[in-house]
Amino acid sequence: MTVIDIPGSKSVTARALFLAAAADGTTTLLRPLSSDDTEGFAEGLTTLGYEVGRTPDAWRITGRPTGPAVAAADVYCRDGATTGRFLPALAAAGHGDFRFDASPQLRRRPLGPLTEALRTLGVDLRHEEAEGHHPLRIAAAGIKGGDLTLDAGQSSQFLTALLLLAPLTAEGLRITVTDLVSEPYVEITLAMMRAFGAEPTRDGDVFTVPPTGYRATTYAIEPDASTSSYFFAAAALTGREVTVEGLGTGALQGDLRFVEVLRRMGARVDIAADRTTVRGTGRLGGLTVNMRDISDTMPTLAAIAPFADGPVRIEDVANTRLKECDRLDACAENLRRLGITATTGPDRLEIHPGTPRPAEITTYGDHRMVMSFAVTALRTPGITFDDPGCVRKTFPDFHHVFGAFRGRS
C-alpha cells in the first residue's frame, strides 16, 4: 500500500482565507495549501490591508469585520478564480475604492452573474473593459442586504461569494438560485461558514443568511480531493493500491465521490472515517456517468478512459468549458493527439478504447491537463507536456510526488 501525502484543499483554503479575513479576531489555518492560487489570495488580502502571517504549516490572519483596512487598493488576482470572485465581494462589504485585475486567462472567465448581483445590492461597480469580466472597480460603501435571484449555472463560485458576503451585510441575504452546478462546493461553503459562527440555512433553491458576522477560530484544512483523484486513478489504472489520509466519510469535498466512479469501473474502494483507499483490479470497465457535481475530476476520468474495455461517456459538464481552458475540447484534442477516438457535444465527452501513442500534450496553461495526462503516461511512455510547470497553480510539487509514486514498486 502506498500512502500519498496530498496538500491542502485549494477550495477549502480559499474559503478559509475569506472567512478568517472577515472574522472578529485572529484565525489560525492549519496545513493550508501553498500554491500560486492561494498565495495570490493571501497577497490580495495583504494588499487590502489585512494582516496575514505565513509559516510552512500554519497561516494566521487577523480579521476585520468592517472590511479592508485601506481606503484604496489595486489587487492583482493572478490566475485564481476564487481570488478574482471572492475578494471583490469581501471588499464590497467595506468602504473605499478598490480595483481588481487578473491574468489574461482569468480575464476570459465570466464574472457577470456575480457582479450583477452585487449591483442589485447597491454596490457601485464598473467593469473597465469587457462587461462581466476583469478588470473591475468597486466604490464600496457597505451593503444593506436583501433578496437576490442568482443563476449559478456557469459556476457555483458566484453563489459561494455571495453566501460568504451575507453575514457582513446589515440585514443579511436571501438568495434564490435558478440554476446551480458543482453543488457540493456550496455545501463546503455552508459548513465552513457555520464553523466560523454564521448561521446559513437552505430550503431547496433558497439560501437565507442572517447578519451574524464571523468569529475567529483555528481551522484545519483537509487534503485536496481533486488532487487526490490523480493518485486514485493511477491506482485503478496500474493495479496498485493508494491511500490518502485525512479524506474519509466526514470529508467536506464532493470531489471525493470520484472514487465511486472508479468503483463502478471495477476498482476496489474503501472509505473509512479518516482515509480513503483505492486498489486497482486489472480491469477498467466502460460507463456513462453524469459529472455535473464533480466536474473538476472530468479530465482525470478522460485520461484513463482509453484503457477501459468499453466507451466512457461523460455527461452534463458544460461548465468545464469555462474553466482555465475549454476542458471538454482540450481533453478531446489531446486524446486525439494520442491516437484515441474522442467526440464532444455541448456538455459531454465520449472516449473509445484504444492504445495511446506518445505525443506532446497541449496544456493551455491548465494545471489539470498536466496532472490528468500524467496518469495516462503511466501506461504510455513518451508523453510530454508543453507547459509542465503550470501545476504550480495548485500543486507545485506534483511532478516530484507523482514521480516518486511512479518509481515505487
pLDDT at residue 338 tops 70: yes
Angle between helix 112-120 and helix 81-92 axes, rounded to 10 deg: 10
Mean pLDDT of the chain: 97
pLDDT over 70 at 210, yes or no: yes
- Of 395, 398, 393, nearest to 77 (Cα)? 393
pLDDT over 60 at 392, yes or no: yes
C-alpha to C-alpha distance for 247 and 70, rounded to whole angstroms? 38
User: Looking at the predicted structure, is the pLDDT value of residue 309 above 90?
Assistant: yes
**What pLDDT digit, counting tens, does each position of 117-145 carry?**
999 999 999 999 999 999 999 999 999 99
pLDDT tens-place string over residues 79-123: 999 999 999 999 999 999 999 999 999 999 999 999 999 999 999
pTM of this prediction? Answer: 0.96
| Cα–Cα distance list, 341 to 204, 309, 382 (Å) | 40, 14, 19
Residue 312 pLDDT exceeds 80: yes
Q: pLDDT-derived band of residue 1, with 50, 70 and 90 as boundaries?
A: confident
Tell me the C-alpha distance between 202 and 313, whole Å. Answer: 32
Which pLDDT tens digit goes with each residue over 39-58? 999 999 999 999 999 999 99
Residue 322 pLDDT level (bands cut at 50, 70, 90): very high
- Is 2-220 in CATH node 3.40.50.720? no
Contact 7, 34 (CB under 8 A): yes
Q: Which residues, in sequence order, are CB contacts of 210 under 8 Å at separation 6+?
A: 167, 172, 199
Residue 172, Ramachandran bin (φ over 0: left; ψ between -120 and 50: alpha; else beta): left
Span 240-248, average pLDDT: 97
| pLDDT score at 44 | 98
pLDDT of 409 reads 47
* Mean pLDDT, range 189-211, rounded to an integer: 98
Please give the distance of CA 338 from its chain centroid, rounded to a whole number: 27
Name which of 299, 200, 184 is nearest 253 in CA terms.
Answer: 184
User: Closest Cα partner for 233 from 383, 338, 344, 378?
Assistant: 378
Q: Please, is 122 exposed, middle or buried when counting C-beta atoms within 10 Å of its C-beta (0-12, 13-18, 19+)? A: middle
pLDDT of residue 266: 98
pLDDT at position 288:
98
Residue 408 pLDDT: 73
Residue carrying C-alpha cell 487578473: 102
Do the beta carbons of residue 160 and residue 81 sit within 8 Å?
Answer: no
CB atoms within 10 A of CB 356: 21
Q: Taking residues 21-39, report their average pLDDT.
A: 98
- Residue in the structure block whose three cell numbers are 483490479: 281
- Within the chain, which residue ranges are assigned CATH 3.65.10.10? 2-220, 225-407
What's the fold here for domain 225-407? Answer: UDP-n-acetylglucosamine1-carboxyvinyl-transferase; Chain (3.65.10)
Q: What is the pLDDT of residue 94?
A: 98
pLDDT for 341 equals 98
**pLDDT exceeding 70 applies to what percent of the chain?**
100
Given 3-state DSSP classes, what are the helix, strand and coil percentages for the chain, each rounded to the nearest 5? 40, 25, 35
Residues 6 or more apart whose CB falls under 8 angstroms from that of 373 comprise: 303, 334, 361, 383, 385
**Which positions are annotated as active-site residues?**
296
